[in-house]
Each structure stands twice: as structure tokens, then as C-alpha cells.
Amino acid sequence: MTAFFRPFAGPVAALLLSVAGLAASAMPAAAVDIQEVTSPGGIHALLVEDYTNPLIAVKFAFKGAGATADPEGKAGTANLLSGLLDEGAGDIGSAEFQAKLDELGVSLSYDASYDGFSGNFRTLVENQDAAFDLLRLSVNAPRFDEEPVNRIRAQILTGIVSNENDPDTLAGKAFRETVFAGHPYGRPVEGTRETLPGIGKADLEAFRAKGFARDDLYVGVVGAIDGKTLGEKLDEVFGSLPAKADLPPVPEVQPITGKSVAVALNVPQTVIQLALPGVKRDDPNFFAAYLMNQVLGGGSFSSRLYQEVREKRGLAYGVSSFLASYDHAAMLGVSTATRSDKAQESVEIIRQELTRMAEDGPTEDELAKAKAYVKGSYAIRNLDSSLAIASTLVGIQLDDLGRDYIDRREGLIDAVTMDDVKAMAKTLLSVDPTVVTVGPAGA
């Protein structure tokens, strides 16, 4: 369940989540042998068999069944649903359902993002039959009893209220509503004080019935299970879902740039966020943009923004830039927080670095280091546990990258030229960004 939203989530980030504590060691990219599995009922999945530990990890996602599909006036429906699917199903009430999960050692959770709805499931092999049956009930027959619905709704509302004066939350709200004005991406995933009370059992069931279908389902599995057994389990869990989802169309949208929004809040630091155009994951120039962003501010201590804003001037503890690729939009964002009397200086330094990158691009050394980092960090970020690998398998399918993507990835990165990166820098960074600040008036 998404308790609150932050505006930047890297490409397919909402669906590539690592879960700490899994009893599985990191797996080098070359060791990932991916199989395609199609169940007798026609349900497709990607599978990595791994008998190192007696575990089965499953990640699944319903594409499009996220917050963009929330009914008008009922923002937060998908998110509320994500908190209720393990709160009783079939003839099993909430407390008993949770007890059965604990007794079997099953890990089960759900999450709603803007573009989809996903589930994480893990079980011991010895308990797989009973565990998969609980998963089946959770997906197909959730109860939505009054007590858990009220309890989970109250938890979400408490989070919303407690964050109403949080600078990051206010910045995220202003950012969404400015950059994606009038679009479903401009609404909060978690809903609002006004919309949540109106979401009831009928709304939750209607959303599940329309969004959970076989044609928008993507599954990744890692662990001690063979393809034949997995096919049987896929039909058991998902086989009775509708053939086709019934989701509202979501229009494509370009991030609105060139705006300046200042939210007054009496706090010592000013939160700063900037938005520029981005590239979608299926763009052939994606890696050129990704490498450019890595040099600009993509998380490394050697990035230009980090060096100029923090190391040389001490204006902030951290500063970073992001490429965010949604199903219907793409943007590049910059985020930092600084002492309020240094806010304008920080914005100007960031603008200068955007202009410098747009005009000159990176150096040969910067590009080489960015390529090495992006290649080397992939396994650590995406292949460090069973569920992380399963999540990566789902992400590969959602982005239509091909089963051999992990093997091809380094070659795609190596093929990017300096001219490619410079062209993307000029295209994306020559635009006047939208700037959102939250801090004292006049800062």
C-alpha cells in the first residue's frame, strides 16, 4: 500500500522493488537463466529456476490498474485496495487470514502506483499448495469487511493529515498539480481527505473486477519451482480472472515547463524541485538520456550537480536528478533542499549546470565513468534477491524489453556515442524548467 507519494520515481521504479531479508544471495546478470512459461490456460510468465533455497518468490502486476484508473472523485481507490487484499478473503476473516499467512511463513503484500497494481508473494516450497491457495483467494475473493476497510482507510487518512505541513509533501503536491495539471498524474495516489471517505466496498470490488484481468497481467517468478508446476499454479491463481480488463483510457501528456510556483511555509530549509521533458522507456534514445542524467545528477557523488551545489558551495546536503518514465508521460526532474536564504542561489547554480550540459554535453571521461557505473550497478540494484529478480522480470515485460534484455543491456549501453548523449542533452535541457519551491515567503 502506498502511504504517500513522492514526485520522482525512476523508470519503472514502482514495479522494480527490492525486498530486504530474503534468503537469497546476489546473482550476477550472466547467471540469470530466464525461461518463458505459458500455463495450460494461456497465462504467460517469466521464470528463473533457483534451488539454492527452498523458496518461491512471485511478482505480478496488472498494467493500467493503478491510480490513473481511480474513478472521478474517488482518488485513492487503487491505493486503498492495495491495503485490503490480505485482510480476509473467501470465508476467511481478516484476523484468521493474517494468522494463516504467519503460520505458513508466507509474505504477501500489494502496492498501487500511478500506472499499475502489483503484488509480492513469497512462500516456502513445503507450504506452496496452501500458500498459493491463500494468494488465489486474495486476488479473486477479497472480503472488504467493514472493520478492515475502516481501519486501513483511517491509517491512510492519518498519514495524509500528518504530512499536510511537511515540506516534501507540499512540494510533491504543487509539483504534480503544476507539471501534470488536469491529468490523472496530477492527483495523489493515496487520495485526499475529501475523496477517501466516499470509497466503499462497492467501489473497491468494482475496481478489482475491472482492473484485474488476464490481458493486463504480467508475472515474474524465481525459486524452487519448475515450469510445469508453475503453469498449474498460474491457472489456479489467475485462471478465473476476466479475459480483458475494463479500464478507462488515459491520455498522453507532456510535462508543463516554464512555470514558477512558490509555496510559503515557515521552515528553515527550502525544498526545490525542477521539471523538464524526459524520454519514455521505449524511446531508442533512452540510454543516451540515462547516461546524460547520470553525469548531471543521477545519484553519484561525482555528478555535476553534487559537485557544484554541495562540494564546491556547501549549499545542500544532497542534490540529484531523475529520469521518470510513466506509461503516458516522461520527465527529467531535479530535487534538493537548502537553507532558505540560499534558495535562489541554488536554483541559479542548477540552471547554469543544465545550460552547460545542454550546450557542451559531458566529457569523454564523464561518459566513460557513467557507462561503467550504470553497467556495474545493475545486478546490485535489480538482482540481489529472489523477489528483486522476480520484480525485474516483471519490469522487463512491462517495458517490452525482451527476455534477453539482461544479456543485451551492456551492449546497448556501450553502443551509445558521445554525439547521442550531446543530442539528448540539448533536446531535454534547453527547455526552461518548471521550478517549485516550498519555504519562507520571499526566499
pLDDT tens profile 204-260: 999 999 999 999 999 999 999 999 999 999 999 999 999 999 999 999 999 999 999
Check if the beta carbon of residue 47 is closer than 8 Å to that of residue 225: yes
The one-letter amino acid at 202: A
Beta-strand relationship, 316-325 and 116-124: unpaired
- The residue extents of the domains of the chain are 29-238, 260-439
Supply φ then ψ for residue 37, to 5 degrees: -125, 130
Count, in order, helices (H) and strands (E) of the chain: 15, 11
**What fold, for 260-439?**
Cytochrome Bc1 Complex; Chain A, domain 1 (3.30.830)
- For domain 29-238, give its CATH number from 3.30.830.10, 3.40.1390.10, 3.40.50.2300, 3.40.718.10: 3.30.830.10
Span 6-17, average pLDDT: 30
Same fold, 29-238 and 260-439: yes
> How far apart (Å, rounded) are the C-alpha atoms in residues 370 and 376?
10
User: Per-residue pLDDT for 388 more than 50?
Assistant: yes
E strands present in 240-329: 260-264, 269-277, 316-325
> How far apart (Å, rounded) are the C-alpha atoms in residues 178 and 364?
36
Contacts of 282 (CB under 8 A, 6+ apart): 399, 400
Residue 300 binned pLDDT confidence (cut-offs 50, 70, 90): confident
User: Per-residue pLDDT for 350 more than 50?
Assistant: yes
User: Per-residue pLDDT for 24 more than 60?
Assistant: no
pTM: 0.91
Spatial strand order in the sheet of 55-63: 35-38, 44-49, 217-223, 55-63, 116-124, 107-112
- Poorest-pLDDT segment among 102-111, 335-344, 374-383, 427-436: 374-383
Cell of 62: 496488472
User: Per-residue pLDDT for 17 more than 50?
Assistant: no
> How far apart (Å, rounded) are the C-alpha atoms in residues 351 and 346?
9
Q: What pLDDT does 443 receive?
A: 61
Cell of 181: 495539471
CB count in 10 Å sphere of residue 301: 9
Q: What pLDDT does 7 receive?
A: 36
> How far apart (Å, rounded) are the C-alpha atoms in residues 91 and 101?
15
Q: What pLDDT does 301 receive?
A: 85
Quickly list H helices, 105-249: 128-140, 146-162, 167-179, 201-211, 227-238
Average pLDDT, the chain: 92
